[in-house]
Structure 1
């Protein structure tokens, strides 16, 4: 990661990797009882970032690509979803 050229990634990345998958997981669980909301959202974020880089849109182009690989996003989302699937409780998943 180049620490000098990136704009908002120190503040955007933790917020995005914690709150967005948790919100998607809550929505999918409460409305549909499907325990794959976090994985679905991370795949959607990765797809959106790929499209963004492909069409050279300015919004996410300064976001470090090394922190957006599926090896960092998908395992975290799978862990959230597996804990919810096994426990069937959002309270236990929050811990």
Structure 2
């Protein structure tokens, strides 16, 4: 190895160690059969907005609302974890939106 390649490797190492990646968001979606008696806004109003949930808790919330998650066609209830927030080893999500697809 000559001194030039060592210099190049040092520059690469310095770039690598100073790199600050941008946060990556995580999304968790739960499908529900399109309800005949509610709008997407009405469904959205049933889900707490300022709380964080694990995937297991999201499944429980949707199941406790009584929606069919196995039949089609479906709407999508989306939860978002900004920056992929981990608490006690679990990703925590907050309600984001109900998509009519």
TM-score norm. by structure 2 comes to 0.29
Structure with more contact order per residue of length (Cα contacts < 8 Å, sep ≥ 6): 2
More helix by share: 1
Which is higher, the Rg of structure 1 or of structure 2? 2
TM-score norm. by structure 1 comes to 0.30
More strand by share: 2
